[in-house]
Amino acid sequence: MVKINGKVILVIIIWLLIIGLLVYSRFINLGWGLPYPMHPDERNMANAIQQLSCKVPISQLVECFNPHFFAYGQLPLYLGYLVALALKFFNMRLGTPIDFQEATISLRIISAVASILNAIIIIKIIKFVTKKESYLLSFVSCLLIIFSPYAIQFAHFGTTESLLMLLYSLIVYLSMQILERHTTASVVWMALVSGLAVATKVSSMTFIAVPLITILSSLRSWDRYKNLIKFGILTIIFVALFSPHNFLNFKDFISSINYESEVALGKSLVFYTRQFFNTEPFYFQFTKVFPYVLGWPVFILGSLGFLMLSWKDKKINLLRFAFLIYFIPSAMIYAKWSRFMAPILPLITIFAALFLLRIKIINFITIIIVIIAILPGIAYLSVYQTPDIRFQASDWIYKNIPNNSYILSETANVVDIPFSNGTIEQSNNYSVISFNFYDLDVNGQLQQELKEHIKKADYIFVPSRRIFINHSKEKYPLLNKYYEDLFSGKLGFKKIAEFSSGLNDEQAEETWTVFDHPVIRIYKRVKSF
């Protein structure tokens, strides 16, 4: 009889649990928020997928699968289109138009799969750096990756973040191989991955700095220049293959990129970039982004790893270079959304894991630190384990706010509440005013209208922190006075309900909270205005 090794069985069980946790954390409730468009970038991409078609005459072949949307490349849109067709095939609906929910779910599936693949690449990078095969190494690395708040959130967004994280991690891994082995075998693969990255989002051209420096610094002079030319030509070819309409519809592409650039650089001021007014580069990311998307423990561990790990190790220095070459220019632009930091977040997780494994502490203490480090991710997972907070608020509203109530709310919160989740009877005929608070300080008519709305309002909704946290008192005194009076009770309203995920992260960069777990406050009139 074959003896069954108990240790082997235990290892298999642990690995099955780890794989199960990884898949669960990325795929749990991928349909959150649907059918409502909770994330504006996701909505735009889903709408673009719905437009994809090749039913054009030969003379207009240039329009074949033209998304008419160039904020991102065509690669994620084409992948989403293929996944949507696959879903239709399995649902026996092939031949029917792709609807918004199908397009959105398809994009989210891509994000979830990319996040899982990225976890594998991160582990491979850690093992490549350490040259170790140990259960503790694998266990610590896997737990930090699985319970990374940023990875969980981006896996549930049908946007480009998970895909870009995967591609940048792949570039770093392939660059390490060239650096270590002084071989040209990975150059073609790096060109392919770099092309895929630019075909996903044109701003990822900054990724290319890593393979360029690696080739220049690690290969012999003739191989160096020969492979630079090969890398450059192949990258352009792959971009053209996977995002062809950037070239076929060049004017539309350039027009879109110019607009996106002007918004990102602060040359074109829009309401959704007001949170960045008078913010300091680097300080903003270190206080409003990294502590929340990574969790404070991993942010601290990753920072210590960046500073204290060996400065003589070429592979670790490559990680440092990959972080800095992307972080510094991205941090200095006007718009500082969390997603702009997405490609380098796995690198910080890697630094955290390497630091934990390099410091001389007993394994028991290491495990305690790891448990503390993953608590923010475990807490964040609850966002997708419970009904969307806006559905919860809507249910409460329909059950507790009387018919024909006059409600003052805020515009530009992606969607307005209340809305239906299909679980309750909704006969209430509310008058909901979605008011433009953004222009209150510069528009006298809006100021008068607000006074009238306050007089009529039975309830006031604050659907998120998007307005009252983003506007300085100096620049927007009237707006701030309104919220101060509302919160203090001077307007004659009392808070009767608050709906929150319990994460206590309202002070984070706006998009981190508003799209999937806003805090919703409801106020009721208790005295006349």
CA atoms in the 13 A half-sphere facing the CB of 245:
24
Instruction: Answer whether residue 433 is part of any domain.
Output: yes
CB 154 within 8 A of CB 340: no
Instruction: Answer whether residue 295 is part of any domain.
Output: yes
Which of 363, 384, 405 marks a domain boundary? Answer: 384
Instruction: Answer whether residue 1 is part of any domain.
Output: no
Q: How far apart are CA 374 and CA 526, in angstroms?
A: 44
**Are 147 and 190 contained in the same domain?**
yes
pLDDT confidence of residue 426: 55
Instruction: Answer whether residue 305 is part of any domain.
Output: yes
The count of structural domains within the chain is 2
The domain of 493 spans 389-525
Residues 6+ apart with CB under 8 A from 8: none
pLDDT confidence of residue 357: 83
**Are 217 and 263 contained in the same domain?**
yes
**Are 313 and 370 contained in the same domain?**
yes
Q: How far apart are CA 216 and CA 152, in angstroms?
A: 36
**Are 422 and 333 contained in the same domain?**
no
Q: How far apart are CA 108 and CA 42, in angstroms?
A: 9
pLDDT confidence of residue 13: 87
Q: Residue 225 above 90 pLDDT?
A: no
Q: Which residue has the tokens 């480090």?
A: 373
pLDDT (average), residues 292-318: 96
**Are 380 and 393 contained in the same domain?**
no
pLDDT confidence of residue 184: 72
Q: Residue 124 above 70 pLDDT?
A: yes
Q: Residue 187 above 80 pLDDT?
A: yes
Instruction: Answer whether residue 83 is part of any domain.
Output: yes
User: Which has the closest alpha carbon to 393: 366, 416, 361, 365?
Assistant: 416
Condensed to tens digits (0 to 9), the pLDDT of residues 373-411 reads 999 999 999 999 999 999 999 999 999 999 999 999 999
User: Which has the closest alpha carbon to 515: 410, 414, 435, 437?
Assistant: 414
pLDDT (average), residues 346-366: 86
What confidence tier does 427 reach under pLDDT thresholds 50, 70, 90? low
**CB under 8 Å, gap of 24 or more: what pairs does 236-242 form?**
236/195, 237/195, 238/191, 238/192, 238/194, 238/195, 238/196, 238/199, 239/73, 239/195, 239/198, 239/199, 241/195, 241/199, 242/73, 242/74, 242/75, 242/78, 242/195, 242/196, 242/199
Instruction: Answer whether residue 479 is part of any domain.
Output: yes
**Are 301 and 411 contained in the same domain?**
no
**Are 339 and 397 contained in the same domain?**
no
Which of 384, 414, 429 marks a domain boundary? Answer: 384
| DSSP single-letter state for residue 337 | -
Q: What are phi and psi of 462, to 5 degrees?
A: -115, 95
**Are 373 and 482 contained in the same domain?**
no
pLDDT confidence of residue 464: 95
Q: In this predicted model, which residue has the larger pLDDT, 359 or 493? A: 493
**Are 198 and 285 contained in the same domain?**
yes
| pTM of the predicted structure, to 2 decimals | 0.94
Q: How far apart are CA 135 and CA 367, in angstroms?
A: 12
**Are 39 and 149 contained in the same domain?**
yes
DSSP assignment string, 103-154? HHHHHHHHHHHHHHHHHHHHHHHHHHHHT---HHHHHHHHHHHHT-HHHHHH
Instruction: Answer whether residue 374 is part of any domain.
Output: yes
Instruction: Answer whether residue 404 is part of any domain.
Output: yes
Q: Residue 423 above 60 pLDDT?
A: no
pLDDT confidence of residue 529: 60
**Are 88 and 215 contained in the same domain?**
yes
pLDDT confidence of residue 80: 97
Mean pLDDT over each residue of the chain, to the nearest integer: 91
By mean pLDDT, which of 16-30, 96-110, 168-182, 216-230 is the weakest?
Answer: 216-230
Which of 336, 369, 384 marks a domain boundary? Answer: 384
**Are 366 and 455 contained in the same domain?**
no
User: Which has the closest alpha carbon to 154: 36, 26, 45?
Assistant: 26
- Within 10 Å of residue 87's Cβ, how many Cβ atoms? 17
Condensed to tens digits (0 to 9), the pLDDT of residues 265-275 reads 999 989 899 99
